[in-house]
Chains A and B, each alone.
Chain A
Amino acid sequence: MEKTLNHKAWFLVLPVILLVAFSAVIPLMTVVNYSVQDTFGQNKFFWVGLEWFEEMLHSERMWDALGRQLMFSAIILSIQIPLGVFVALNMPKSGFWSSFCLVMMSLPLLIPWNVVGTIWQIFGRVDIGLLGYTLDAMGISYNYTQDTFAAWVTIIIMDVWHWTSLVALLAFAGLKSIPDAFYQAAKIDQASRWAIFRYIELPKMMGVLMIAILLRFMDSFMIYTEPFVVTGGGPGNATTLLSIDLVKMALGQFDLGPAAAFSIMYYLVILIISWVFYTVMTNLEKKGGLSDD
């Protein structure tokens, strides 16, 4: 087939280029712009090169926040993924109760993030919150504003409450796509419940689970609103995750240069981890799923 060459065709992609430029490229470039300049006020900027990046790379504060962030993501992933799969496996497969469960589980996903934060902030209060008051009455010391451990437990349970449904819904969709014949064949082959999970359900769920892990990783790595509403990053800096720290730096202290350098590195970290993750998972998929034999 002969291809017609017509440069006017570029006009057809112009709207998209403009849209992407204004929604992503230009804002990102402003950040890049800040990250390589400094100012002493009066809107006068001068070039500092990569100084901010160097400073940030040697900043203990950033490394600590990154450490807390990685720990947070690791903990919630290691709870939400198995729990979501477990919930999906035990949900009714069809009929009224199946739809009922799906609707109930979607509810937390529909609640605005700051409302989720507020719910848990109040829920956990020792004076008026149901959870905090009850624990206190039972003699368990629980105060998320003063105790690091309690603060961490609170934001982790909150995230698990908020997002496990997403994993469960995705896993459920994966399970639903398995034809009945597989389960029937497994019965005929006298496969144990574990073998059914290991050799039928898990391999068939791998695709959606990969998406679930990626989504939950990226989302948890960027989490801001909910822990901020509950703990404000405290006690001390105990729950100051990366984005909370970033906002403190950019808007609290108005250190635009370091904050810009910080956010670019933050962005690159998410990009790289997601890419590595995706590559590893797709390679596994090609080689035949998780395997030990």
Chain B
Amino acid sequence: MAKITLDNLAHSYLAKPNSEDDFALKELNHVWADGEAYALLGSSGCGKSTLLNIISGLVHPRQGRILFDDVDVTQASTADRNIAQVFQFPVVYDTMTVRDNLAFPLKNRGASPEYIAKRVQEIGAMIGMEAELNNRARGLTADAKQKISLGRGMVREDVNALLFDEPLTVIDPHMKWELRTQLKSLHHEFGHTMIYVTHDQTEALTFADKVVVMYDGRVVQIGTPQELFERPEHTFVGYFIGSPGMNVIPATIDGSNAQVHGTAMKLAKHYEKLEGKVEIGIRPEFITLTEGEGLPVKVRRIEDVGRHKIVRAELFGNEINVLAPEGQNISFDMNHITFDQSQVNVYVNDWRTEGKVA
């Protein structure tokens, strides 16, 4: 178990990166606190797997340092870092039995046979494969194989960190939930530093203490699930987290007055003069449909998802989503919307700007 420090880290897969765009991972400083569970969230190709592979030592960074508990391991091999990593697609040693698969990392590190036998039994129970321990790994289903991969990741107790690269992609939904719960309880029990890469926000928000959101090779926000929800630091975080994501509406802002397509609106906070692309972000949860007050919208479609209704509407030609409570009747006259002003965020060139309390 260790605290992991990323110091000035950046990586490009090109031999001679010319501009910032050539970097798969842009300059990054971050400390992963010892014993915390992190989720690394972002869309495909945003650099999250690169970051994970740099931490585990499978990729050596072009720039910067990695420290495990203040020891520089930038050039250390994967084995020396004592890291466990589970990959997106199952990696099992086909010709071995399930038991030998689980024992493999321990055997390679010279653990005693008694310890191996005991530990493999425990892990077998944890992944629910005790009965299959003596079966050959070949011919098992994809989820069984992935459970073995997970088991192999968890079998060593003394690892510095446990890294997961979208490990539950091939697992069916019920088992997914169960395994995630087990990972969480494992975390509580042993207190490993865990980093869990995913593009699934539910997975990220339920697994992690802290969620790290990446976009285009950059970490755009690190925070608790609640912070990400209420104060997205970047419009991408707003879109990406929440279902549906945050609405981002172009606006002009002068002091605490906003103009949205010519309609004036009073903001809760006061802003200095803003330069660049100015937008306001408001989550669908904080918009209310009204019968005449606020901005005019055209309601296009209403989706009843059970707990609430998602209203798909059009605001001056742009799509906007509104969440209405399940019990609410939506009449034809409800063609305006108002915002809960305390939940409005203002973005300049996609980054959030904090206003002063007026």
Query: A: which residues have CB within 8 A of B?
Result: 179, 181-182, 184-185, 187-192, 195, 199-200, 203-204, 288-291, 293
Contact = CB atoms under 8 A, between A and B. Distances in A.
Contact of B149 (A185, A190, A191, A203): A185
Contact of A199 (B56, B84, B95, B136): B95
Given A290-B95, A293-B97, A189 B88 contact: no
B108 A181 contact: no
B198 interface: no
Contact of A288 (B77, B94, B108): B94
A123 B17 CA distance: 51
Contacts, number: 66
Interface string B61-101: 00000000000000001110001110111010111110010
B58 interface: yes
Interface residues of B, number: 29
A279 to B, nearest CB: 19
A291 B95 CA distance: 7
Closest 8 CB pairs of A and B: A185-B91, A189-B105, A190-B108, A199-B93, A288-B136, A181-B87, A187-B78, A190-B79
Given A181-B87, A184-B85, A188-B78, 14 more contacts: A181-B89, A185-B149, A187-B58, A187-B79, A188-B56, A188-B58, A190-B79, A192-B108, A199-B96, A199-B104, A203-B93, A288-B95, A289-B94, A293-B100
Contacts of B91: 181-182, 184-185
Q: Which of B95, B96, B100, B105 has the most CB of A within 10 A?
A: B95
Contacts of B85: 184-185, 188
A71 to B, nearest CB: 32
Contacts of A199: 93-96, 104
B87 A288 contact: no
Contacts of A185: 85, 87, 91, 149, 152
A288 B79 contact: no
A199 B137 CA distance: 12
B96 A188 contact: no
A191 B108 contact: yes
Nearest to A192: B108
A48 to B, nearest CB: 54
A178 B187 CA distance: 32
Contacts of A203: 93-95
A189 B94 contact: no
Nearest to B91: A185
A290 B277 CA distance: 64
A167 to B, nearest CB: 21
23 contacts: A179-B89, A181-B88, A184-B53, A184-B78, A185-B85, A185-B91, A185-B149, A188-B56, A188-B78, A188-B84, A188-B85, A189-B108, A189-B152, A190-B105, A190-B109, A191-B108, A195-B108, A199-B93, A199-B95, A203-B95, A288-B136, A289-B95, A290-B95
Contacts of B96: 199, 293
Contacts of B53: 184
B30 interface: no
B276 interface: no
Q: Which of A190, A192, A199, A204 has the most CB of B within 10 A?
A: A190
B144 to A, nearest CB: 15
Contacts of A190: 79, 105, 108-109
A179 B87 CA distance: 11
B80 to A, nearest CB: 9
A187 B108 CA distance: 11
B188 interface: no
B95 A184 contact: no
Contacts of A293: 96-97, 100
A199 B88 CA distance: 20
A203 B139 CA distance: 13
B138 interface: yes
